[in-house]
Amino acid sequence: MMFSKGTGRAGVTLLLLITVGIITTSSAENVRFIALGDWGGQGQYPYFTEAQAETANGMARAAGKRNGAPAAEFVLSLGDNFYWKGLDGGEDGLARFEATYDSIYHQEELNIPWMVIAGNHDHCGTIEQQLELSSDHPRWNFPDYNHIVTREFSTEENGDTMKLKIIMIDTVHLAGVHCAHEDELLVEEFRPPPGHDPEDLESFNRAEETLQWIEEALSTSSDADYLLVSGHYPIYSACSHGSTPHLIRDLDPLLRKYQVTAYLSGHEHCQFHFEHEEMNYILTGNGQSCCYSDRNRDSLPRGGDLKYILADDEDYSGTSNVRGGFASFEAAADGLSVYMHRENGDVLYEATLPPRTKVTVFGDAVITANE
């Protein structure tokens, strides 16, 4: 762990904690992993959905070895891990963890590390219990609200080492949350941007601290060949909730400044790949059910390229004929392959993102490796 001190707006002094994941070097020529958002079952018995169980089996199918490629090394959990209000704490929370997580993702191919962040529904429960479970469950990795996953692998051509770095962030701390009751379907309002409520100094400080943590993590990632940032809320979204103004204002400029390969998110129970001004936004939030509508398609910024979207005509109308899904990734010497899967593991869409031109940032100046 690394500690550093920073000063936020209005002269607020903040203590930043950077939790760094173990750097794992693979003998394989690539790194494969799964990304899954919004998989958290349901708040009443049996505490999972049929679509979630089908999606778990599809994940296991996709995570296995194929065409000479190694099996998936880990799963990114993009939040909303337990619907509707997270874990309750104590024995009830442990029982819910077993019913929604351990009993559903029991396949051998999924007995790999799960790298976890929280979603808005998780924050409505005892979020501390999800953090504490990292100590007792070997594959559940949730060491802090923000943490870093790093993998290194060797290329076939000359044995050079390449690096994949994933910065896992808590977007709820950035954008806030309204904890809806279960009968308030799709009624989830963001709180005002941190700092706009002069009486909510705690929220302001937490958002400032999180932003500074993110920038410090990005500024020390100039050696990453693939640099991903993963959060729960999307920056841009074509689906039912729409884009997140707080993240457009505060987070997106940092991703562009440090030339992030892609931003991964969930929250919306749909899938899409949107490219805007050379930045890629990849959303996969249908781990438990599918699909929201594409009602915010026309609200995406002009000039962007909506390369792929999976959504129903109306929320959960079934018009897409898809019940759930997830994404998978393969980092190799020549690119980062992205695959969108439906619940049975079939691939619906694929794309390849190029390796980064490594950058160094001095103040506001960005220096690329070939300059």
With helix as H, strand as E and coil as C, how does 201-228 read?
HHHHHHHHHHHHHHHHHHHCCCCCCEEE
Neighbours of 200 (CB within 10 A): 16
Please, what is the end-to-end C-alpha distance for the chain in angstroms?
33
Q: What are phi and psi of 67, to 5 degrees?
A: 50, 40
Question: In the sheet that 161-168 helps form, which strands lie side by side, from edge to edge?
Answer: 2-7, 13-26, 147-154, 161-168, 226-230, 262-265, 279-284, 271-276, 305-310
Q: What is the structure's pLDDT at 67? A: 76
Q: Which CATH architecture has domain 2-368?
A: 4-Layer Sandwich (3.60)
pLDDT at position 154 is: 86
CA dihedral 7, 9, 15, 20 (to 10 degrees): -100
Residue 188: per-residue pLDDT: 43
pLDDT of residue 361: 54
Q: Are strands 305-310 and 271-276 parallel, antiparallel or unpaired?
A: antiparallel
pLDDT score at 205 = 87
Residue 204: predicted pLDDT: 80
Ranges of residues in the chain whose predicted pLDDT is under 70:
1-27, 157-158, 178, 180-199, 358-371
Domain spans in the chain, listed from the N-terminal domain onward: 2-368
> Is the separation of the CB atoms in 267 and 287 below 8 Å?
no
pLDDT number for residue 196: 44
Strands of the sheet containing 325-332, edge to edge, are: 140-141, 114-116, 74-77, 31-36, 325-332, 335-342, 347-353
Does the model's pTM come out above 0.95?
Answer: no
| b/e sequence 11-49, b meaning 16+ C-beta within 10 Å | eeebebebeebeeeebebbbbbbbbbbbbbbbbeeebbb
Task: Give the Cα-Cα-Cα angle 102, 228, 242 (nearest 5 degrees).
Answer: 80
Query: Which residues sit opposite 312 in a β-bridge?
Result: 293
